[in-house]
Amino acid sequence: MSTFSYIKGLGFHVPERIYTNTDLEKIVDTNDEWITSRTGIKQRHVVEDETCHDLAYEASLKALQEAGMEAEELTHVIVATFTGDMPIPSTSCLLMERLGIKNIAAMDLSAACSGFVYAVEVARALINLDPTAKILVCGAEVVTSRVNWEDRSTCVLFGDGAGAAVMVAGTGDESGKILDTLVRADGNHGMNLTVKGGGSAYSYKAGDTVGVENFVEMQGREIYKHAVRSMTSISNEILKRQGLSIDDVDVLLPHQANMRIIEAVGKKLGILREKVFANVDKYGNTSAASIPIALADARESGFIKDGDLVLLATFGGGLTWGSSLIQF
């Protein structure tokens, strides 16, 4: 009997502080109508004193609790993020220390908004190598630390948060069975979405002034077109690979970047709007945390029910994109 990877537990956490669109009107030249009509976002959660690993820790506790596991049972910790606490040590190592565990594998993964799906693919590979593995996969971001609050085209889009999943091996038909995952990238278009500051190509020295290169810069029109095209194509590809059609899908759960993108992907795939999960209005774009927050939220709220076939579709800087099929 074939071994599959399963999501045994899910959890998410967002900061308490909320920035509404009205709050942003006091910070930058914008208004609620402009933001809502272009993005569908009404509010976003923003950290006060929390760090990336703080958010990851809270989400991980919930995922472990739902999985009925203790942190000491884990064999690997993977954190997908581009806004970790610091370059060294990794956020995954900081999370391990916070969870009170050591002497297991830990690593951060950088694929921007696609990071969680990429991390799921890495976890699947590790479980295939060792079916006894028990892996914590977390997408955690403090995106607002990399937002230029003077740039109204980007600062209105993002929020902070974390989502986590516990992945294990199995051979039966338990809920959370990952049927397949596909990930792709194209560096030719990478400069359309960047955070350059701090990298070796944009290094700095003590006393330098912080510049716009340290924050998210995006060619919105190009990103929109590539996001819709790539998420649609990879969703069709993974369905075809599994001998399925969009009619077999009970829930489409796309990256929560922008309501226009979510609606365009659903329309191109030909899925009914009532099957498409969206919570971008409440949380904004939380990058690598977007998919796991949405997955945990949809499961907790009952949008995803036992027996549902869920199609994940994501897109991010790099440029990267990916898709997963999960049978609940």
Q: Give the pLDDT score at 1.
A: 54
What is the reported pLDDT for 174? 87
The strand pair at 134-142 and 76-80 is best described as: parallel
Question: Averaged over 145-166, what is the pLDDT?
Answer: 95
Task: Please state the rounded mean pLDDT for residues 230-249.
Answer: 98
- Tell me the mean pLDDT in the region 70-93: 97
First-to-last alpha carbon distance for the chain, in angstroms, is 19
Closest CA to 191 of 212, 157, 216, 210: 216
Provide the residue type at 252 as one letter: L
Return the CATH number of the domain spanning residue range 178-327. Answer: 3.40.47.10
What is the phi/psi pair of residue 8, to 5°?
-90, -25
pLDDT, residue 186, reads 96
Unique residue bearing structure tokens 């971001």: 141
**Which has the higher per-residue pLDDT, 172 or 131?**
131
Q: How many residues does the chain have?
A: 328
CA 7 to the chain's CA centroid = 15
Which residues carry out catalysis? 113, 255, 285
Q: Which residues lie across from 141 on neighbouring strands?
A: 161
Residue type present at position 186: D
**pLDDT for 284-296, tens place per residue?**
999 999 999 999 9
Q: Which residue has the higher pLDDT, 203 or 241?
A: 241
- CB 317 within 8 Å of CB 219: no
CB 312 within 8 A of CB 295: yes
Topology (CATH) of 4-173? Peroxisomal Thiolase; Chain A, domain 1 (3.40.47)
CATH fold match for the domains 4-173 and 178-327: yes
Mean pLDDT along residues 234-240: 98
Measured from the Cβ of residue 148, the count of other Cβ atoms closer than 10 Å reads: 18
- Cα dihedral 232, 238, 244, 250, rounded to 10, equals -60
Q: What are the φ and ψ backbone dihedral angles of 215, each rounded to 5 degrees?
A: -125, 170
Q: From CA 232, how far away is CA 176, in angstroms rounded?
A: 23
Q: What is the tens place of the pLDDT at every residue in 253-285? A: 999 999 999 999 999 999 999 999 999 999 999
Mean pLDDT value across the chain: 96
- Tell me, rounded to whole angstroms, the distance of Cα 264 from its chain centroid: 19
Render pLDDT for 176-219 as a digit per residue (tens, 0 to 9).
Answer: 999 999 999 999 999 999 999 888 888 888 888 888 888 999 99
Report domain extents, the chain: 4-173, 178-327
* pLDDT number for residue 169: 97
Higher pLDDT pick, 207 / 143: 143
pLDDT at 249 over 90: yes
Q: Which two tokens stand for residue 135?
A: 């892996």
Task: Give the pLDDT score at 240.
Answer: 98
| Cα 249 from chain centroid (whole Å) | 21
Q: Within 13 Å, how many C-alpha atoms sit on residue 107's CB side?
A: 12
Distance CA 10, CA 12 (A): 7
d(CA 221, CA 185): 19
Q: How far is CA 256 from CA 41, 224, 262, in A?
A: 10, 13, 7
Share of the chain above pLDDT 70, in %: 100
With a cut of 90, say whether residue 166 has pLDDT above it: yes
| Residue 89 CB coordination number (10 Å) | 15
Q: Could you give the dihedral angle defined by the CA atoms of residues 50, 73, 64 and 317, in that order, rounded to the nearest 10 degrees?
A: 60
Structure tokens at 222: 């190009």
pTM, full prediction: 0.97
What number is the average pLDDT over the span 43-50? 97
Hey, what are 149's tokens? 């609050």
pLDDT of residue 159: 98
68 is written with which tokens?
Answer: 């009925």
| For residue 326, pLDDT beyond 70 | yes
H-helix or E-strand spanning residue 268: helix 259-269
Check whether 324 has a pLDDT greater than 80.
Answer: yes
Report angle CA 133, 65, 108 to the nearest 5 degrees: 50
> The tokens 């596991």 sit on which residue?
69
What pLDDT was estimated at residue 211? 86
